[in-house]
Structure 1
Amino acid sequence: MISLKRTNSDDIDFINLVALLDQDLAIRDGEDHGFYNQFNKIDKIKHAVVFYENDIAMGCGAFREKDS
């Protein structure tokens, strides 16, 4: 069974998936990770989605406003 959940940055599944992504990006970015990581904060995201397969969080996405 596949499902999507609309959520925000307070969602524990969203937080856990982003943590896994951050670990992967730290490896891929190498020495540049400190620079790129400053842009990857997830606090105050109002619009996110988590993808589930058989009730297991498998992926996520989000967008946030940069300037009003």
Structure 2
Amino acid sequence: TGEAVEIEITAKQIIKIKEKLNKILEKHTGQPLEKIEKDTDRDFYLSADEAKEYGLIDQVIKPKE
């Protein structure tokens, strides 16, 4: 049916976007593509310090004491 075709088209588009995003993450984080694909396959949560170590952010801003 037309609905099944639309779902298939949307699914293929989502896969293409995910592949592009993973390549961008690989380039900017320095992580291997295989690791990024595994990490982004499901929900993947990081603390601020973990995000820095992963390469997603440059620094963690901490409040002045």
TM score, norm. by length of structure 2: 0.38
Higher relative contact order (CA 8 A, sep 6+): 1
Query: Of Structure 1 and Structure 2, which has the larger fraction of its residues in strand?
Result: 1
TM score, norm. by length of structure 1: 0.37
Q: Which has the larger radius of gyration?
A: 2
